[in-house]
Chain A
């Protein structure tokens, strides 16, 4: 158990809908990262937050957005969902966010299925 929690574990929704994925980092970690793992694209970094501020951006679509709240939990919002958004979404956390030198601890992921 990495100490990173993600909810929900599974999510099934329809095209055009909007969903929110939630992540709670390990106790004491200030930085969270979001990743997407899909069958055709593999594991891709989406975005990083450190203490509430966006720090690094990867291959995140404009339809997707994220934020980190004062209690350090983070949410990833996916809107206007398409079939191709079906994937496993991982959240990771680290202490200071010195990416990538610092070890990141991954949560178990949220499996999203868009029908």
Chain B
């Protein structure tokens, strides 16, 4: 039972354009969401997070949007750069401080120069 789903295994965009990575979840108890980036042969790196009390969080070129009613979040990267090419994982947690992170299966982003 996949509680966090990233339905697009891969995405290709042109440098300078917007990249939009999507994530859906089924557990309505999730209240904290994170995005991680992973390069080959490295561990995941935290990118940005959002609490369920917000619907948007921005950090430089990265913005995460949360739509609680649709149980959907998205990561926008503007403008996309070739160095953004990596696998992006979304993750969710339902009880901060005690429970585990549940990860999506990841989306491979390729930014074409």
Which of A's residues lie within 8 Å of B, judged by CB?
Answer: 2, 4, 42-45, 56-59, 90, 92, 98-101, 103-109
Residue of B with least CB distance to A45? B100
For the complex, what is the distance from the CA of A59 to the CA of B91, rounded to whole Å? 15
Q: Total interface residues on B, using CB and 8 Å?
A: 23
Of the 9-residue stretches B21-29, B43-51, B66-74, B75-83, which lies at the interface with chain A?
B43-51
Q: Does B35 contact A (CB under 8 A)?
A: no
Q: Which residues of A contact B41 (CB under 8 A)?
A: 108
For the complex, what is the distance from the CA of A59 to the CA of B100, rounded to whole Å? 9
For the complex, what is the distance from the CA of A104 to the CA of B46, rounded to whole Å? 7
Residue of A with least CB distance to B104? A42
For the complex, what is the distance from the CA of A16 to the CA of B54, rounded to whole Å? 48
The contact of B34 among A58, A59, A100, A108, by CB within 8 Å, is: A100
